[in-house]
Amino acid sequence: MSTPAGLCAQIVAPYPPAGGISIASQSGNFVSSFLNWSTVTGVGVARAVSAGNAASLGVADYLEYYADDASSRVGLAYVEGITDGRAFADRVRAVTARMPVVLVKGGSTDGGAHAAASHTGALAANDKVFDGVCRQIGATRASTVEEAFEAAATFVTQPLPAGPNVVVMTTAGGWGVIAADAITRDRHLVLMPLPPDLVEIIDAFLPPRWSRANPVDLAGGETRDTIPDVLARLASHRDVHSILYLGLGIQANQARLMRAGQFFPDHGIGRVVDYHERQDARFAQAAHDVSAATGKPILTATELAVADPTNAGPRTVRATGRVCYGSADRAVTALGHLYRYSEYLRRRGLA
């Protein structure tokens, strides 16, 4: 499959939007799975090839090709077995010096290894060894197909963070707590304490009851411009490297409830509904624009990305070309992958 060439010769796959993800897989159906994820998220694909049992060309061959391909910005691969581990590692290491590579491996358990042997004849590698090799060569290893696609989509749509410090901005306290747990569990990300000068800046935009801590709980004190204003101040601070924004879509979800009521659109309710939907669209656009202006990743997460993809918030995130993650945990997982690859490049003088 090649969107630059307008070609789709995989009979079970949808034709995805064009973009920068290029796929190599030892399973044709996983090519289809990745293309389905591309279609639903709007994050596009450049090329996709099923290598099958790799009798002639293997996953590493296609990844090397993608590294030389102007349309490809990240490699995404499903592998089951590796016949020459050192050669595979050396070749993928050369690719990760030039572009991110996300790997999801089948046959990582005894049960999966037996299934892989009957599927492609693959001899499964020791999983702990494979995991360690991925870290050494700068490849991002994902546990699931969903995680793999979201990692690749994050690489292709977000800037790399300059450091580990994450600030969570949330419109509800509970979501912030869960996000703080996820960041703290990550091996490398840091839930940074808010420095006094940043607290003073944010004080000007929030009511006195706000958390004055990370997560930044807006305390229900949002006015028309609070979210764009606070996002911009957080991202502009020198110590903040990444932001996780939780709560997008709440106003548009309220608008959906009002639309279903018996009094809509009379009694001014139509105007209220329009305002709420415009607000969430503005907030999603602001997350993209502030990220682009500051060069810092800003990831948005809400279950409405899955529960109601037509909600103005998630819909606008997709329109900006980025991923709206279905939960804070998924966003933190993607951000962790983004940071570790950024650090890999810096340690090797490649950033």
User: Domain of 253: which CATH number?
Assistant: 3.40.50.261
Q: What is the pLDDT of residue 349?
A: 95
Residue 313 has pLDDT above 80, yes or no: yes
Long-range contacts, 175-182 (Cβ 8 Å, 24+)? 175/246, 175/247, 175/328, 176/211, 176/215, 176/216, 176/217, 176/246, 177/215, 178/328, 178/329, 179/215, 179/244, 179/246, 179/301, 179/328, 179/331, 179/332, 180/214, 180/215, 182/328, 182/329, 182/332, 182/333
Q: Are residues 139 and 209 in the same domain?
A: no
Residue 27 has pLDDT above 90, yes or no: no
- Of the pLDDT bands very low, low, confident and very high (cuts 50, 70, 90), residue 80 is confident
- Of the pLDDT bands very low, low, confident and very high (cuts 50, 70, 90), residue 33 is very high
CA distances from residue 142 to 38, 51, 147, 331 in whole angstroms, order as listed? 17, 19, 6, 13
Residue 296 has pLDDT above 60, yes or no: yes
| pTM (predicted TM-score) | 0.92
Domain that holds residue 336: 165-347
Q: Are residues 100 and 247 in the same domain?
A: no
* Structural domain contains residue 297: yes
pLDDT tens sequence across 314-336: 999 999 999 999 999 999 999 99
Residue 241 has pLDDT above 50, yes or no: yes
- Of the pLDDT bands very low, low, confident and very high (cuts 50, 70, 90), residue 222 is confident
* Structural domain contains residue 306: yes
Residue 73 has pLDDT above 60, yes or no: yes
How far is the first Cα of the chain from the last one, in angstroms, to the nearest whole number?
31
Q: Which run of H or of E encompasses 74?
A: strand 74-79
Residue 340 has pLDDT above 90, yes or no: yes
Q: What is the pLDDT of residue 108?
A: 55
Q: What is the pLDDT of residue 56?
A: 81
Range with the lowest mean pLDDT among 7-16, 113-122, 197-206?
113-122
CB environment 235-272: b (16+ within 10 A), e (fewer): bebeebbbbbbbbbbbbbbebbeeeeeeeeeeeeeeeb
Tally the domains of the chain: 2
Q: Are residues 147 and 65 in the same domain?
A: yes
Which residues share a beta bridge with 301?
246, 325
Residue 72 has pLDDT above 70, yes or no: yes
Q: Are residues 242 and 336 in the same domain?
A: yes
Give φ, ψ of 303 to 5 degrees. Answer: -65, -15
Q: What is the pLDDT of residue 94?
A: 98
* Structural domain contains residue 178: yes
Tell me the Ramachandran region of residue 72: left when phi exceeds 0, alpha when psi lies from -120 to 50, beta otherwise.
beta
- At position 282, the amino acid (one-letter code) is R
Q: Are residues 150 and 197 in the same domain?
A: no
Range with the lowest mean pLDDT among 106-120, 166-180, 216-230, 319-333?
106-120
Q: What is the pLDDT of residue 119?
A: 42
* Structural domain contains residue 307: yes
Q: Are residues 193 and 232 in the same domain?
A: yes
User: Which residues, including other chains, have CB under 8 Å from residue 162's CB and lie 6 or more apart?
Assistant: 241, 296, 342
Of the two residues 322 and 28, the one the predictor is more confident about is: 322
CA distances from residue 326 to 69, 146, 303 in whole angstroms, order as listed? 31, 11, 5
Residue 258 has pLDDT above 60, yes or no: yes
Strands (E) in 219-319, as ranges, are 242-246, 298-301
Q: Are residues 259 and 141 in the same domain?
A: no
Tokens 């010096």 -> residue: 97
For the chain, give the mean pLDDT: 92
Of the two residues 81 and 234, the one the predictor is more confident about is: 234
Range with the lowest mean pLDDT among 54-58, 318-322, 340-344?
54-58
Q: What is the pLDDT of residue 6?
A: 95
pLDDT tens sequence across 263-292: 999 999 999 999 999 999 999 999 999 999
Q: Are residues 136 and 174 in the same domain?
A: no
CA distances from residue 28 to 13, 72, 190, 253 in whole angstroms, order as listed? 9, 20, 38, 38
* Structural domain contains residue 8: no
Residue 209 has pLDDT above 70, yes or no: yes
